[in-house]
A and B are shown apart, each in its own frame.
Chain A
């Protein structure tokens, strides 16, 4: 789970700026992280619902936010 996040962060912080392929890959990794987070951490258990903060679901918007800032 955390390896997906790690791989996504490697793409985000590349020194020369990411390419479109890099951003697509980062988005895939972040979606995979979210999928595994909801599967393993949340587990559809109401007792774990406090883990589901907006910061987790906000990861899904990172690609759109980068694309909104840069050339399209």
Chain B
């Protein structure tokens, strides 16, 4: 794919989803599983090849999934920086093994939880376009008409693919606004307003991490 410079660079994928251990709903945990994408497809998804990275302790789904992801991200940072000393069969050269997280596989609700977004029922459900829905008080739901039914205002463009694209810069700015309101200890209603507009609940390790956390993870990686 042109993403990696060396044969010893490995790509990884993580999958996350909730599970109920018993039918009566007595225990609900979350598992996060790693898959090595550099393996052949025939053996990549076999049980022996799956890396169980964490299982949340329950009894309900985790309130803060990022707290379980943080140790995984620390190890992924170490792997991305490279581990030297890898010797390959038939060669005396010492190689550096690097592993990169390439993708995450989830269903829609788990994906929303993984990147800390409001999901498809929110006011701004798209990660790629800055589009906003209309609140229907009768149905208590956001809908996404092309034209506003009352004001006839155009809410998003259909034909121009490049218009109003959200980038990581705009998403980060929106998340910073949310976190700034939290830091200033604003009221819950005041914090929820930018959350609705951004379609996000705040910092997320996979989509939009806190700069302080990134610095701390990088420092810890360097020390180790």
Interface: A46 (CB within 8 A): yes
Please tell me if the beta carbons of B128 and A64 are within 8 angstroms of each other in the complex. yes
How far, in Å, is B11 (CB) from chain A's closest CB?
12
Total interface residues on A, using CB and 8 Å? 26
Known A38-B147, A50-B139, A54-B144; judge A61-B128 contact (CB<8 A).
Answer: yes
Known A49-B145, A69-B103; judge A57-B1 contact (CB<8 A).
Answer: no
Task: Count how many pairs of residues, one from A and one from B, have CB atoms less than 8 Å apart in the complex.
Answer: 69
Q: From B19-27, B39-47, B156-164, B187-195, give the one contacting chain A.
A: B156-164
Interface: B202 (CB within 8 A): no
Bound complex: CA A51 to CA B142 (Å): 11
- Which one of B125, B136, B143, B145 lies within 8 Å of A58 (CB-CB)? B125
Output the nearest chain A residue to B127 by Cβ-Cβ distance: A61
**Interface residues, chain A, CB within 8 Å of chain B?**
27, 31, 34-35, 38, 42, 44-46, 49-50, 52-58, 60-61, 63-65, 69-71
